[in-house]
Structure 1
Amino acid sequence: MNKNRIVLATFSLLSAAVMFSACRDKKSTGLEFARNMYDPIAYNQDQPVSTTNPDLESFKGQTAQTPPSNTNPVGFDRYELPNTKEGYEASAALVNPLPVTEKNLAEGKHFYTVFCAPCHGEKGDGQGHIVKLDKGISGVPAYHGDDANSSRGGLMRDLQAGKIYHTIMYGLNAMGSHASQLTPTERWKVVMYVQELQKIK
C-alpha cells in the first residue's frame, strides 16, 4: 500500500466520521464560523429589552424609542411651509440655494427625466409617454407657452423656483409628492432644470 492510498483512506474515514457526527443532532446547525455574525451585539429594534440590566431601566422594556420632540435626524432638512394655499404662496420667497452650474443642470435633467418626464415630457411640453399612452390623462401642464396655465393661477413659465419646489415636495392634483424619492438638494436641481425648460419659446 503506497502513501497516496494511505492518505486517501485516512481522509475518507475522517470525512465520513465528521459527516455522520454532524447528522446526529437534528437541531444542531453544525460548525458555525464567525458566531458573532449570527448573534448581533446590539439589540434588535423589534425585540423587548431585558429590564434586569440597570443601564436599560429607562427603556421600559422597549428597544425602539420615540425620538425626543423638536429633534431632527442628522442631515435632515425640515421644510417648514405647510401644504396649503398660504404655504404655496409663501414658497414664492424661497430661493434656490444651489449655483447654476453644468453639473447641477445635468443632474437636474437626470432626475427630471426619471421622475417628471413620463408625464411632463422630455421638453416640458406636457406630452410625456404616459400621457400619450393613456388618452384619459389630461391637464398635465407644459412649462412654457402662452397657453400653459397653472391650476393655481398664472402661466407655468412664470412660476418661481420656490413654488416649483413646493409642488415637488407635496404634489398637486394627480401629481403625487416626490419628497420620499428626491432629497432636498435633488429637488432644487430639478427646479433648476425646470426653469431652463420654462425659457423654451
Structure 2
Amino acid sequence: MKRLYKIVAVVGLSFMATSCFDKSKPNYQFFPNMYEAVSYETYSEHGVFKGGVEAQTPVKGTIKRGFVPYEIPNTPEGYALAKATLKSPLDSLSLNAEKGKELFNIYCAICHGEKGDGKGNLVVKEKFLGVPNYKDREITEGSVFHVITYGLNSMGSHANQLSQEERWQVTDYVLKLKSEL
C-alpha cells in the first residue's frame, strides 16, 4: 500500500509539473524589465523620478568637465575691466600662430578680412557695414577675448564655436595682425 501511495504521489507531481506547460505562453519571467526595457521620451512626464522632469536637470552651479567659466560679465563695465586687466593664461609654448591664423580665417576673416583691415568678403558685398579695422582700434588681449566671448554690436558670440584656449589663440593672432597694419 505504501508503494501505491508513492507511485500516485510521483505521478501526481509529474502531472502537476507538466500540466502547466504551454508552448504558446512562455513561463513566468523574473525581472521582466531586463528583457523588455521601458523606454521613455526625453524630458517627458513619467513616474521614475519623484521630482518629475526637474529631477533630471543638473544641480545648479554645476559645469561640464573641462569647462572653465568666464567670470567677467557682459556689460560695458565688464568690457572695460577685461580691457584693462585680462591677460592670456597661455604661455609662449602654448601659443600656436598657425592654429590662431586657421581659426581666424574660419570664423573672423569673412567680416574682418584676412589682414584685419575690416574688408572681409561680407563687407565687400555690403552685407555688413562698419566692421572695424584693427589699426584704428585701441584693443588689448583682454578686450579682444571679451568681444570674441560675448560679441559686440553686430558681431555675435563665438563662445560656442571656440573653446577658451582657441579664443586665446585667435586673440594672439588678432594682436599680431594689429601690429602688422
Deviation per residue, 1:29-74 (Å, 9 max, x gap): xxxxxxxxxx8788654344444xxxx4xx4333862322222221
Identity level (%): 41
TM score, norm. by length of structure 2: 0.70
Structure 2, unpaired ranges of 5+: 1-35
Provide the C-alpha distance between the structure 2 equivalents of 1:189 and 1:111, rounded to a whole number of angstroms.
8
Deviation per residue, 1:117-164 (Å, 9 max, x gap): 011000111100111112x632111112xxx1xxxxxxx2x4110110
Provide the C-alpha distance between the structure 1 equivalents of 2:37 and 2:103, rounded to a whole number of angstroms.
38
CA deviation after TM superposition for structure 1 residue 94, in Å: 1.1
User: Which residue does the alignment assign to 2:108?
Assistant: 116
CA deviation after TM superposition for structure 1 residue 174, in Å: 1.0
Structure 1, unpaired ranges of 5+: 1-38, 149-155
| Runs of 4 or more above 4 Å deviation | 39-44
User: Which residue does the alignment assign to 2:134?
Assistant: 143
Provide the C-alpha distance between the structure 1 equivalents of 2:57 and 2:159, rounded to a whole number of angstroms.
22
Are 1:199 and 2:166 counterparts?
Answer: no
- Please, which of 27, 43, 46 is the counterpart of residue 43 of structure 2? 46
CA deviation after TM superposition for structure 1 residue 101, in Å: 4.8
* 8 Å CA contact 2:150, 2:158 repeated in 1: yes
Select the structure of larger CA radius of gyration. Answer: 2
TM score, norm. by length of structure 1: 0.64
User: Which residue does the alignment assign to 1:13?
Assistant: none
One-letter amino acid matched to 1:190 = V
The within-5 A match list for 1:1-201 is 45-51=42-48, 56=49, 59-62=50-53, 65-92=56-83, 93-101=85-93, 104-134=96-126, 137-144=128-135, 148=136, 156=137, 158-201=138-181
* 8 Å CA contact 2:110, 2:121 repeated in 1: yes
One-letter amino acid matched to 2:66 = G
Please provide the CA RMSD for this pair: 2.5
* 8 Å CA contact 1:119, 1:131 repeated in 2: yes
User: Number of residues paired by the alignment?
Assistant: 145
